[in-house]
């Protein structure tokens, strides 16, 4: 018994949806329209059952799944069960949605509930200054000096220009490029 035949017995809509989808792959636009409508009903029912606490988000997820199926329809192998392919896409979309939702919710957590965030740092100030000094020493003076004067000492652009002998635009460019270079070094772990 082939995989497709086995799947059609396990999932009654498999045979009908697969036939519609295969016809649509062969250019039948009407079959594709019916396929998307019927698949949307099945996906919606499955999501409502599996994610009962997220009812408001089900329609968005249904649209995400249908869009992913549309974009990836060329990847479907006709000798494989359609439902396995659809469920794989569905799993990825639900996982992506839940990760994004968790990130959004984390942004709304009140900081008052996190007293440890404001606890004293384990890093000694001298060590932090040493590390910052090492990073700044890797920059050319036209970037290092504007950062030191403006960002660490709190001087204005005009004061920094006088102290360094650079023009005001050069000071601004130096700070911008220097911070960008520092961020890149930190991301790459080159301190």
Mean residue pLDDT across the chain: 81
What's the total number of domains in the chain?
2
Nearest one of 10, 37, 1, 7 to 21, comparing CA atoms: 37
173 lies in some domain:
yes
Residue 114 lies in a domain: no
Give the separation between CA 46 and CA 189, rounded to whole angstroms: 45
Per-residue pLDDT, 164: 87
15 and 96, same domain (yes or no): yes
SS3 83: helix
Model confidence at 9: pLDDT above 50 = no
**Where does a domain end: 54, 73, 107?**
107
What pLDDT does residue 5 have?
Answer: 45
Residue 41 or 185, more confident: 41
Residue 177 or residue 129, greater confidence: 177
The count of residues in the chain is 191
SS3 for 190? coil
Write out pLDDT tens, residues 99-140. 888 877 766 655 555 555 445 555 556 666 777 778 888 889
Least confident residue range of 57-61, 121-125, 172-176: 121-125
Last residue of a domain, one of 78, 107, 136: 107
Same domain, 80 and 128: no
């Amino acid at each position: 018994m082939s995989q497709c035949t086995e799947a059609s017995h396990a999932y009654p809509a498999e045979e009908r949806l697969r036939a519609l989808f295969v016809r649509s792959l062969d250019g039948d636009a009407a079959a594709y329209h019916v396929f998307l409508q019927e698949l949307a009903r099945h996906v919606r029912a499955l999501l409502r059952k599996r994610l009962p606490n997220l009812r408001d988000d089900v329609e968005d997820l249904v649209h995400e799944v249908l869009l992913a199926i549309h974009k990836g329809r060329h990847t479907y192998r006709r000798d494989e069960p359609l439902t396995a392919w659809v469920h794989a896409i569905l799993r990825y979309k639900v996982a992506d949605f839940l990760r994004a939702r968790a990130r959004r919710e984390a942004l709304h957590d009140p900081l008052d509930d996190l007293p440890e965030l404001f606890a004293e740092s384990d890093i000694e100030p001298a060590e932090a200054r040493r590390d910052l000094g090492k990073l700044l020493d890797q920059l050319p003076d036209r970037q290092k000096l504007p950062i030191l004067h403006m960002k660490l000492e709190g001087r204005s652009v005009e004061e920094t220009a006088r102290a360094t002998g650079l023009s005001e635009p050069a000071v601004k460019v130096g700070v911008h490029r220097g911070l960008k270079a520092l961020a890149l070094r930190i991301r790459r772990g080159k301190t």
